[in-house]
Copies of this chain bind each other. A is one copy, B any other.
Amino acid sequence: MQQFLDIARALADENRLRALLALKDRELCVCQIMAMLCLAPSTVSKHMTVLKQAGLVDSVKRGRWVYYRLPDRATNPDVARALEWVFGSLQEEARIKDDANRLCCILCMTPEELFKKLVMDEGQGPRTGVALAPGPGE
């Protein structure tokens, strides 16, 4: 029951759902999720902690970066069922697909290009240092 409640509560927030869906085909580090969600590092960190406590993601630390990814299936049937529910229901969501597109840009662009795009998209400078550092993907 507690396990189920942890999962349900973790899934009851739009930004956590977006983060979870973004992990479908790849692992991501916190700074990439920050760029995708446009949230402060502390906020993203807390969200990922909630997801991890619920068993919905795993994390690995490599160098300075912490990578989050979906857990191995078959670990926990409750988690597996929950993830099936989430992906089955939201994969085709417009917002999620848009995230996937933007994520593609975040992963491929150089920091300078990313900076310009953020400025153009939002009409203002990027948040607290988002994407200004040479990301882990290079």
Q: Which residues of A contact B (CB under 8 A)?
A: 1, 4-5, 8-9, 11-14, 17, 78, 81-82, 85, 88-90, 93, 95-96
Select A5's contact among B5, B12, B88, B96, beta carbons within 8 Å: B12
Q: Are A11 and B8 in contact (CB under 8 A)?
A: yes
Supplied contacts A1-B14, A1-B90, A9-B12, 15 more A-B pairs, CB within 8 Å: A1-B17, A1-B95, A1-B96, A4-B17, A4-B90, A5-B12, A5-B14, A8-B11, A8-B17, A11-B12, A81-B85, A81-B88, A81-B89, A82-B85, A85-B85
Q: A81-B88, A85-B82 are in contact. Are A93 and B1 (CB under 8 A)?
A: yes
